[in-house]
Structure 1
């Protein structure tokens, strides 16, 4: 076996479970990757707040379509993106049906009857209210996807420290804490492979699964303690917290294109609210 084989396999595994790994190079047309994370948060935030107060179905549907258009243009298309784009409307439909069941029938009993079981009746008005609520939730979630699918954790922390003046002691400490999550995933995968090679805790069934998980706890905790010690020593060696600010190696500037994106998004959002004017339907 070549010397680079295990190393490349380990690197591939780490990249697969590490959300803070370097993002692969994308086409320049995928513009969301080049925007400041704060711009991608500030742009949809007013629309997300206003969507809480709308009651119609057309307005959240319009913002859902807007978010889908931005995602299809601005980020690299992948299987995960396709799954999200399909799952979100399905989840909205399920949530909408759930809310329609809990709607007050006394307020919609003048509408058409959709379904009746004994003394319980599902009215068309209740279904309309429930689906509008599900669409509203889906639209708010969809507006968070551009920043979630095109931003890494370190870039968000750097932007918060550099533009929002968040103390770096808070930002980078939180980043180090979140960094433990993918590290645990990587360590757990290595421990599983080692147990599989040694044939430890084999077999099927619930008792074998419990035995396997108990066999993971001790080495996983030992690895977590070692990793915490290394992080603490590395931060102490770099005089973390000794000065009021630190020199940034990687800058995440707020450029003109970020301002243009925010202004355009606000303008489109205002146009949609003005054209649909959902508050007049209440």
Structure 2
């Protein structure tokens, strides 16, 4: 049986710690100001970077659509309940749509999009094991914490399968014939009990195999950090620097601390 593998990109093989650092640099730089100029500038540069990194267009559009929807919902909330300033276009009870709320909603939409998009797309081909290797070897985080988190992430994928099997078993016994709400509540409790038991068993097994012995911990796979990783982080700094410089030069810089 053949398996379909994702098309390789220039992000393939890049240390996940560098991707995490690049996403963090962009997020910290853009969260300092609420203005549409810095956010839109960063967004354009990010799209160029993602195209240079050869992120598949299908993946780019699919995940961008999901992020856009989340950003739009946030912008709608700001539009209806944001700062009232300038001309009021519509008012109803607590809802006020004004020039100030419209401007703030646009800036918020672009900023959420500019922050979330690289955070999602930079990890498009990153495996949890690779991220754990990087956190343990590059950032020197405690192996007990890293491997425990990795094991937890691995088990998350089993929740859906357990939910289906619990449903099949309860229907076979005639427990879930009526009452969807009651059935869902009982099945959710059974899933919680099953997850706790599996987690306890996994923790005992890991302790028995020495996963808690940090001084003697070795790593099966090396996690190199070289020029590609440094270039990615430098690109993130360039994006933030150009976005802030453009915003300041056009007079749209709006530092959050001064609001």
Q: Which residue of 2 aligns with 1:187?
A: 162
1:200 aligns with 2:174: yes
Per the TM alignment, residue 167 of structure 1 is displaced from its structure 2 partner at its CA by 1.5
Q: Which residue of 2 aligns with 1:142?
A: 117
Q: Which residue of 235, 246, 261 corresponds with 2:232?
A: 261
Q: Which residue of 78, 81, 88 corresponds with 1:99?
A: 78
Unpaired stretches in structure 1, ≥5 consecutive residues: 1-7, 9-22
Q: 2:137 touches 2:223 (CA, 8 Å); kept in 1? A: yes
1:214 aligns with 2:186: yes
SS of 1:33 mapped into structure 2: coil
Separation of aligned partners in 2, 1:234 and 1:94: 44
Per the TM alignment, residue 32 of structure 1 is displaced from its structure 2 partner at its CA by 1.9
Unpaired stretches in structure 2, ≥5 consecutive residues: 255-259
RMSD: 3.4
Per the TM alignment, residue 166 of structure 1 is displaced from its structure 2 partner at its CA by 0.9
1:241/1:280 CA distance change after superposition, 3 Å: same
Q: 1:47 touches 1:269 (CA, 8 Å); kept in 2? A: yes
Q: Which residue of 57, 63, 66 corresponds with 2:36?
A: 57
1:164 aligns with 2:136: no
Separation of aligned partners in 1, 2:11 and 2:112: 23
Separation of aligned partners in 1, 2:39 and 2:91: 29
- For residues 45-70 of structure 1, give each alpha carbon's deviation from its aligned partner in whole angstroms, at most 9, with x where no partner exists: 23321212223212212223333444
Q: Which residue of 2 aligns with 1:152?
A: 127
1:212/1:143 CA distance change after superposition, 3 Å: closer
**What TM-score results when the alignment is normalised by the length of structure 2?**
0.78
1:248 aligns with 2:219: yes
SS of 1:165 mapped into structure 2: coil
Separation of aligned partners in 2, 1:37 and 1:124: 42
1:39 aligns with 2:18: yes
1:90/1:170 CA distance change after superposition, 3 Å: closer
1:26 aligns with 2:6: yes
Separation of aligned partners in 1, 2:88 and 2:128: 49
Separation of aligned partners in 2, 1:99 and 1:223: 38
1:67 aligns with 2:46: yes
Q: Flag the structure with more relative contact order, 1 or 2, with Cα contacts below 8 A and sequence separation at least 6.
A: 2
1:86/1:241 CA distance change after superposition, 3 Å: closer
Within-5 A mapping of 1:221-236 = 221-222=193-194, 224-226=196-198, 228-229=200-201, 231-236=202-207
The count of corresponding residues between Structure 1 and Structure 2 is 252
Separation of aligned partners in 1, 2:222 and 2:204: 25
- For residues 99-127 of structure 1, give each alpha carbon's deviation from its aligned partner in whole angstroms, at most 9, with x where no partner exists: 2333343xx23xx4533559986322331
Per the TM alignment, residue 39 of structure 1 is displaced from its structure 2 partner at its CA by 0.6
